[in-house]
């Protein structure tokens, strides 16, 4: 959101419109594509190209984390949700010059789905994750490098495709480095989850990269591909963790709100296979809801629907801060990126928002802030 301040219910609705769309206030959603998502309008076909990169090499311990703290002895782990997208609506030409202009923003929107692809931002994200050293990560709006062959080389300069070669890791693998396993949503390669191999492995994914390795299903009338993805992680120290990545539909039209309601029901009621998205116990649900359940429940039925499952008296609770007094982590006004669980507890901070934690990059690029949570493991 880039609009000026408003007041009253009308102002809140205007702000919600901008927040849900990741666009400047006043821009309508009807004429815009789902930002950051690949064009899958041709049907239900597998989006993986025939010459997809062979980065799904057999899973190995090469480059695995060798920290001395045994997973068996851990009492906590670090989880991150990061919408790594950008937007044309940001003030990219404002001083000082950070190297990313409105011209590059147009190329990003046209060819990269506004996912993480600008080389300088990719480098900054890699440095951020190297220093942070988390255990599980979920991404929304992260560019899938397998799409590079379909992008004209005139749009390569200063973007990830400029140096990427067939067989190289995709962006999610690149920013996390060796020792990670990455699995993405069916039909949505811009939404992925990752687990450090010293911490665990996705069940059913035997390689370092599984393009459609998470479970998920398209909701009819809500675009193509799964915006909710579930992965069961078998932990190195024993036991399991169900990780659910959610990226709610953008927009405030009635159909957009209804789609978010159905997506939240996929998380907590039925993923589409007759089982809840967050199945069993030991669930961690992370992602960009595209609504603020602590501030927008009176204006957005999807926020109200999320609160039907998460909060006092419910089976799930917020780990991330929520409510009118929570420090906003999106556009200085909202909390739309969240972490919730049924059994895990913990605390969170946000880069560029929480004091003492600088931004991932000093540039006008990311329109979300990463949310980092230290999650406590229940002890027997």
For residue 163, is it within any domain?
yes
pLDDT of the residue at 24: 34
Range of the domain at 345: 58-376
pLDDT of the residue at 274: 85
Q: How many CA atoms lie within 13 A of 227 on its CB side?
A: 28
pLDDT of the residue at 276: 86
For residue 279, is it within any domain?
yes
For residue 62, is it within any domain?
yes
pLDDT of the residue at 15: 42
Q: Are 116 and 147 in contact (CB under 8 A)?
A: no
pLDDT of the residue at 275: 82
Residue 118's CATH number: 3.60.10.10
For residue 33, is it within any domain?
no
For residue 41, is it within any domain?
no
pLDDT of the residue at 112: 98
- Taking residue 63's Cβ as centre, other Cβ atoms within 10 Å add up to 12
pTM: 0.84
For residue 86, is it within any domain?
yes
pLDDT of the residue at 56: 54
255-297 confidence digits (pLDDT tens):
999 999 999 999 999 999 888 888 888 999 999 999 999 999 9
Q: Are 214 and 229 in contact (CB under 8 A)?
A: yes
pLDDT of the residue at 161: 98
Let me know if 41 is exposed, middle or buried by CB neighbors in 10 A (0-12, 13-18, 19+).
exposed
pLDDT of the residue at 59: 57
Q: How many domains does the chain have?
A: 1
For residue 64, is it within any domain?
yes
pLDDT of the residue at 23: 35
| Mean pLDDT per 10-residue section of the chain, whose length is 380 residues | 32 42 34 32 35 51 43 82 96 94 97 98 98 98 98 98 96 97 98 98 97 97 97 94 97 96 97 86 96 96 98 96 94 95 97 96 96 91
For residue 254, is it within any domain?
yes
Helices (H), the chain: 8-21, 102-111, 119-132, 171-176, 254-268, 301-307
Question: In angstroms, rounded to a whole number, what is the distance separating the alpha carbons of residues 249 and 138?
Answer: 17
91-130 confidence digits (pLDDT tens):
999 998 999 999 999 999 999 999 999 999 999 999 999 9
148-176 confidence digits (pLDDT tens):
999 999 999 999 999 999 999 999 999 99
Judged by DSSP in three states, 288 sits in strand
Judged by DSSP in three states, 78 sits in strand
pLDDT of the residue at 332: 87
Question: In angstroms, rounded to a whole number, what is the distance separating the alpha carbons of residues 310 and 308?
Answer: 6
């Amino acid at each position: 959101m880039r609009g000026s301040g408003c007041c009253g219910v009308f102002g809140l609705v205007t702000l919600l419109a901008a927040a849900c769309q990741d666009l400047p206030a006043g821009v309508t959603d009807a004429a815009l594509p789902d930002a950051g998502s690949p064009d899958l309008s041709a049907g239900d076909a597998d989006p993986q190209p025939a010459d997809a990169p062979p980065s799904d090499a057999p899973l190995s311990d090469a480059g695995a984390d060798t920290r001395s703290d045994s997973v068996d002895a851990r009492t906590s782990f670090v989880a991150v949700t990061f919408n790594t997208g950008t937007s044309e609506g940001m003030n990219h030409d404002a001083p000082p010059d950070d190297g990313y202009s409105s011209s590059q923003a147009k190329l990003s929107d046209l060819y990269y789905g506004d996912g993480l692809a600008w080389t300088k931002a990719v480098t900054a994200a890699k440095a951020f994750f190297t220093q942070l050293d988390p255990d599980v990560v979920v991404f929304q709006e992260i560019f899938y490098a397998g799409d590079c062959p379909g992008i004209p080389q005139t749009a390569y300069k200063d973007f990830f495709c400029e140096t990427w070669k067939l067989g190289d890791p995709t962006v999610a693998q690149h920013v996390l480095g060796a020792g990670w396993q990455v699995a993405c949503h069916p039909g949505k390669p811009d939404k992925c989850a990752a687990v450090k191999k010293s911490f665990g492995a996705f069940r059913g994914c035997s390689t370092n990269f599984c393009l459609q390795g998470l479970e998920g299903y398209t909701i009819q009338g809500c675009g193509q591909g799964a915006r909710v993805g579930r992965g069961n992680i078998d932990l190195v120290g024993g036991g399991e963790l169900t990780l659910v990545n959610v990226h709610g539909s953008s927009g405030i039209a009635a159909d957009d709100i209804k789609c978010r309601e159905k997506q939240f029901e996929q998380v907590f009621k039925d993923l589409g296979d007759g089982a809840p998205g967050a199945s069993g116990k030991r669930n961690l649900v992370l992602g960009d809801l595209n609504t603020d359940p602590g501030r927008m429940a009176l204006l957005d039925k999807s926020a109200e629907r999320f609160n039907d499952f998460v909060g006092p008296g419910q089976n799930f609770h917020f780990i991330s801060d929520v409510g009118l007094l929570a420090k906003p982590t999106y556009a200085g006004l909202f909390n739309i990126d969240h972490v919730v669980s049924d059994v895990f507890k913990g605390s969170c901070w946000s880069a560029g928002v929480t004091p003492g934690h600088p931004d991932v990059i000093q540039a006008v690029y990311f329109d979300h802030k990463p949310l980092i949570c230290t999650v406590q493991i229940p002890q027997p």
